[in-house]
A and B are shown apart, each in its own frame.
Chain A
Amino acid sequence: AQKVTQAQTEISVVEKEDVTLDCVYETRDTTYYLFWYKQPPSGELVFLIRRNSFDEQNEISGRYSWNFQKSTSSFNFTITASQVVDSAVYFCALIQETSGSRLTFGEGTQLTVNP
Chain B
Amino acid sequence: KAGVTQTPRYLIKTRGQQVTLSCSPISGHRSVSWYQQTPGQGLQFLFEYFSETQRNKGNFPGRFSGRQFSNSRSEMNVSTLELGDSALYLCASSLAGLAGKNIQYFGAGTRLSVL
Q: Which residues of A contact B (CB under 8 A)?
A: 31-35, 37, 42-47, 50, 52, 91, 93, 95-108
Contact = CB atoms under 8 A, between A and B. Distances in A.
29 contacts: A33-B100, A34-B100, A35-B103, A42-B108, A43-B88, A43-B90, A43-B109, A44-B106, A45-B90, A45-B92, A93-B43, A95-B100, A97-B100, A98-B99, A100-B56, A100-B97, A101-B55, A101-B56, A101-B94, A101-B97, A101-B98, A101-B104, A102-B48, A102-B56, A102-B58, A103-B43, A103-B104, A105-B43, A108-B42
B31 interface: yes
A44 B107 contact: yes
Interface string B26-48: 00000101010000001101001
B64 to A, nearest CB: 15
Contacts of A98: 99
Give the size range of B's interface with the partner: 20 to 34
Contacts of A102: 33, 45, 48, 56, 58
A100 B101 CA distance: 10
A90 to B, nearest CB: 12
A48 B45 CA distance: 19
B99 A45 contact: no
Contact of B108 (A32, A43, A101, A107): A43
B107 to A, nearest CB: 6
